Amino acid sequence: MELLRDSIPMVSLAAAAAALYARMASSLLRPGLPRLVALLPLFPFLAAAPLALTSSAIVRATAAFFLAWLCAFKLALLAAGRGPLDPALPVLPFVFTALLPVKLRPAGAGAPKAKPLPSLLSCAAKVAAIAAILRLYQYNARLHPYARRALYGVHIYCFLDLFFPCIAAAAGALGMETEPQFDRPYLASSLRDFWGRRWNLMVSAILRPSVYDPVRARAGSPAGVLATFLVSGLMHEGMVYYLSLRRPDGRMTAFFLLHGVCCVVEGWCARRWAARGWPSPPRAVATVIVVVFVAGTSFWLFFPPLCKDGGEEKLLEEWAAVAAFFLDAGRKINGVVRSTDSLAVGK
C-alpha cells in the first residue's frame, strides 16, 4: 500500500487493473461459485485502497464510496451474473462502469427514455449556492447548529449534483451515455419517491438487485425494504469511518432504519387510504412534509456522526482549501484572458 499512499493516479491505476482482472476472470468463468472465488481477492483491495489517501478526508471518503461500496457491490452482482457489469462490455465502458458511480443508458429503440442531465442554468445555480455557503462557513461559530446542518445538507446535494454530471460529461466525451443520479429530490412527494426515484439513483440501482429483490422474494416487500435500508445504513457507517477514521456510533444505521420503517408504514397507509377512496393530500403539502422529515431526522441522526470530535472543523478547513484553490485558479485564468486581450489590442 506504500506505493499507493496519497497518490490518486496510482490508486486509480490499481483500481483499473482490478477492474480489468474482473472482466477477464468473469469472461472465462460462469456465474456462481467459480466466478465468485476468482473475484474474492479484489474485495480486500477495494476496502483498503481508499485508506491510502491519508491527506484528504473528502478524497478518501469519495474513493471509498466509489470502490469500497459501489464497485464491491457491482462485482458481487457480477459474480452472480447480474447487475450493470457484463464481461461482454468493451474494456473502457466496463472499467468506467465498475469504478465510477454511473449507470450506462441502455441502447436500442426499446430502451426507456432517460431523464435529461441538469441544464447549464441549474449547474450555475448550484455553483452560486456552494460559493455562498462557503462564505457563510466563515461565520459558522455564530450559526445555530441546525442552521449549520441545513447548510451542510444543501452543500452535499449541490456538490453531488455537480460532481456526477461532470462524470457523465466525461463518459459522453468517450462515447458513453449515462443516466442522471438525481432527479430534483426537493420535489419528492413521499419518502418512497425520495429514496427510490429521486435521491442518488446509482445506489438505488445497486441495492435493488443485490438486497431488495432477493429478500423480497423470500420474505416479502416490507422485509426487502427494511433489509435495503439496513444495508445502506451499515455502508454509511463505513463511509463515516473512511471520512473521520473513527469508529462509527450506529446513528447512521438508526437514521436509515428509521426511514425504512417509515417507508413501510407510508406504503401501508397509502394502500389503505386508496382502498377507502380518500383523496391524496395536495402534492405541495406532501413535499413540504417529506422535506421537513428528511431534514429533521438528518439534523438528529445523520450529521452528528460527521461533526463530532473535531470532524466538522476539519471538513470546513478542507472545503475552505478547495474554495481557495478554485478562486486562485479563477484569478489566474482571468489574468491570462486579460493579458491576451491586451496583446490583441496592442497589435
Spans of all domains in the chain = 1-100, 116-179, 183-315
> Looking up cell 418512497, which residue turns up?
192
Question: All 3 cell numbers of residue 166?
Answer: 461532470
Q: Could you give the C-alpha distances from 113 to 55, 106, 177, 192, 216, in angstroms and in order?
A: 41, 9, 12, 21, 27
Distance CA 288, CA 28 (A): 52
Distance CA 299, CA 289 (A): 15
Q: What percentage of the chain's residues is helix, strand, coil (to nearest 5)? A: 75, 0, 25
Cα 213–Cα 248–Cα 19 angle in degrees, nearest 5: 55
Instruction: Tell the burial category of 47 from Cβ atoms under 10 Å away from its Cβ (0-12, 13-18, 19+).
Output: middle
If you count them, how many residues does the chain have?
Answer: 347
Distance CA 169, CA 190 (A): 30
pLDDT by residue for the chain (347 residues), tens digit each? 555 566 888 999 999 999 999 999 999 999 999 999 999 999 999 999 999 988 888 899 999 999 999 999 999 999 999 989 999 999 999 999 999 988 776 655 444 555 555 567 778 888 888 888 888 888 878 888 888 888 888 888 888 888 888 888 888 877 777 778 888 999 999 999 999 999 988 899 999 999 999 999 999 999 999 999 999 999 999 999 999 888 888 999 999 999 999 999 999 998 888 888 888 888 999 999 999 999 999 999 999 988 887 777 787 788 777 666 666 655 666 565 566 655 555 55
Supply the DSSP string of 35-65, one letter for each residue.
Answer: HHHHHTTHHHHHHHGGGG--S-HHHHHHHHI
